[in-house]
Amino acid sequence: VSFDKCAFENLYCGVYVNWVTDPAKAPVISITNSTYTDTTYGYSVDEVTNGAVVGGVETTFENNTGDVTEAETWQDAVAATVISGDVAKAYSSWENAYNAADENGIIILQKNITGPVTIDKAVTIVGNGNTITAESGDAITVTAAGVTLSDVNATAQGGHALVVYSAYDNANNSYTPVNGDIAVNGGIYVAENASMQGEGAIRIFASGTVTVKDTTTTGGIHVFNPASYEISGNNVSFDGYNQKGVGILV
């Protein structure tokens, strides 16, 4: 679709493109040699409606005149993107993104998330500088094997920043481990409650290979009965008054 030598006046945007869910059907837009008057954006491509392809519309914007911003952006409205193959799709909430992700999919956080959150399928979560925060309880609970947390930040005001198990027996205060591997690569994990720091900002019950590396934690890193493990490059500290605890427990 080409727009050449057009005049756009008194508009929010000159050209609006609806969301695209199939990149193979994405339009190609060209806006050239056009003039803008009292118009905010030259064009807007909807990349925030749940399931919209990010970057799927090819747009050319050349030799246009007027006091106009070329494109409306949607970063502030997108909570997370989900990667499938080489296609990224946007979602307006963590819940929508997580539900849309397939097993072994990749979810990239685009803003801070209010937790707690539960991860019950094998996915990779990329923190992208954002934080999952829970006012009570554990910030992140993982109940499935094959989960990777990459540069995820998590803060729990009353519980663990991250806890991994497949089931919990409240009567006996016992945990059933997930049957497989867990990887935590980078990120900041904070247990704000001083009594929880000693129990571990990160607390993992898993029967496979457990990796915890290059994290910064306020509270210990506790890994229980893994088949094998790599725990390296972590910065562990405690911030509670007269707080003591085990930094790394395996």
Cβ atoms 238, 219 nearer than 8 A: yes
pLDDT tens for 210-221 read 999 999 999 999
pLDDT tens digits, 153-199: 999 999 999 999 999 888 888 899 999 999 999 999 999 998 899 88
Confidence tier at 76 by pLDDT (50, 70, 90): confident
**pLDDT one-digit tens code per residue, 88-99:** 999 999 999 999
Does residue 134 contact residue 157 with C-beta atoms inside 8 Å? yes
Give the count of alpha carbons within 13 A of 212, CB side only: 31
pLDDT at 131: 98
Three-class SS of the chain: CEEECCEEEEEEEEEEECCCCCHHHCCEEEEECCEEEEEEEEEEECCCCCCEECCCCEEEEECCECCCEEEECCHHHCCEEEEECCEEEEECCHHHHHHHCCCCCEEEECCCEECCEEECCCCEEECCCCEEEECCCCCEEECCCCEEEECCEEEECCCCCEEECCEEECCCCEEECECCCEEEECCEEEECCHHHHHHCCEEEEECCEEEEECCEEECCEEEECCCEEEEECCEEECCCCCCCCCCEEC
